[in-house]
């Protein structure tokens, strides 16, 4: 999460659709709400407060999900590193991301280990039930320094290939409230998708614009890829984000659970849609 030149939040997550393979992951009979909550709690405990160990903790989280070293790609640029995992499908591509870096005060659990946890669990679900599109799951570096990791990744996509990138879904700062859209860095059609998904899931929804804030979805908007940021912040978030209060014990775990649900449902709908549907 950052201000003006830096960045902020994220949003997201689920609805029960069964029309495509990705949606089958939502209705897994072996995983109850209690099971999912337990996994999310365990993953939150892996948050690393030491900035220098943050990237390694992201890799460790994915390895806990059964990912091999060969599947984890560290995308290195001169000024940032991203952790990337891919679930192969067709040529059409969806990017799912969250930043892993943090500000110095606190442990950066709200902002943004929660987003990384959501991306890791969405990766696990999509890998089990792949869809027709290719999914690129990314933990971005140096979001707090001005969206550096996501900007580098987006601009590295050749111009002639950008049309096959159907959408980018970003998660930034959960733990206080239901998933909301950071509308000032989210495209209209994807925001409408988030709203309809929330209605189907019967959870509260709002466009929660923070005009002074940005997040990694903006990097993909800049190359004309439809993008959205979902977050789960609530009243008084300024007293937690970027402060020493940003710790695991203050997290409301149901915020992540609904983020997971809404995100998975949105991915199912994006997978079923034409690539141009959200432009």
Domain boundaries, the chain: 2-278
Q: Choose among 154, 134, 139: nearest CA to 218.
A: 154
CA distance 218 to 120: 21
How many Å from the N-terminal Cα to the C-terminal Cα in the chain? 26
Q: Which two tokens stand for residue 232?
A: 């789960």
Say yes or no to pLDDT of 134 above 50.
yes
Q: Could you give phi then psi for residue 235, rounded to 5 degrees?
A: -60, 135
CA distance 15 to 22: 11
Q: Give the CATH architecture of domain 2-278.
A: 3-Layer(aba) Sandwich (3.40)
For the stretch 75-111, pLDDT in tens is 999 889 999 999 999 999 999 999 999 998 889 999 9
pLDDT at 235: 85
CA distance 132 to 38: 30
CA distance 188 to 206: 13
Place 2 in a pLDDT band, splitting at 50, 70 and 90: low
* Exposure class string for 56-88: b at 16+ Cβ within 10 A, else e: ebbbebbeeeebeeeeeeebebeebbbbbbebe
Say yes or no to pLDDT of 173 above 70.
yes
CA distance 243 to 263: 27
DSSP H helical segments within the chain, as ranges?
21-24, 33-44, 54-64, 114-128, 148-156, 188-201, 217-221, 253-272
CA distance 65 to 61: 7
Q: Whole-number mean pLDDT of the chain? A: 89
Say yes or no to pLDDT of 30 above 60.
no
Tokens 């209060």: give the residue: 245
């Amino acid at each position: 999460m950052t201000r003006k030149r830096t960045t902020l939040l994220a949003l997201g997550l689920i609805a029960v659709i069964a029309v495509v393979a990705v949606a089958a992951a939502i209705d897994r009979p072996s995983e109850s709400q209690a099971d999912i909550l337990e996994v999310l709690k365990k993953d939150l405990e892996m948050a690393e407060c030491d900035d220098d160990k943050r990237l390694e903790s992201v890799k460790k989280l994915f390895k806990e999900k059964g990912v091999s070293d060969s599947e984890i790609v560290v995308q290195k640029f001169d000024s940032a590193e991203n952790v990337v995992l891919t679930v192969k499908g067709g040529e059409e591509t969806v990017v799912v991301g969250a930043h892993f870096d943090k500000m110095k005060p606190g442990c950066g659990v709200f902002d943004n280990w929660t987003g990384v946890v959501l991306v890791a669990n969405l990766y696990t679900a999509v890998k089990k039930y792949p869809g027709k599109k290719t999914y690129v799951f990314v933990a971005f570096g140096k979001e707090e320094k001005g969206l550096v990791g996501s900007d580098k990744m987006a601009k590295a996509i050749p111009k002639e290939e950008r049309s096959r990138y159907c959408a980018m879904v970003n998660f930034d700062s959960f733990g206080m409230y239901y998933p909301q859209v950071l509308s000032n860095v989210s495209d209209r059609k994807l925001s409408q998708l988030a709203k309809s998904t929330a209605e189907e899931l019967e959870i509260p929804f709002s466009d929660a614009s923070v005009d002074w804030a940005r997040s990694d979805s903006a990097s993909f908007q800049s190359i004309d890829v439809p993008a959205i940021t979902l977050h789960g912040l609530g009243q008084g978030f300024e007293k937690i984000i970027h402060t020493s209060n940003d710790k695991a014990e203050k997290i409301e775990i149901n915020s992540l659970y609904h983020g997971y649900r809404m995100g998975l449902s949105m991915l199912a709908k994006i997978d079923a849609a034409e690539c141009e549907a959200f432009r």
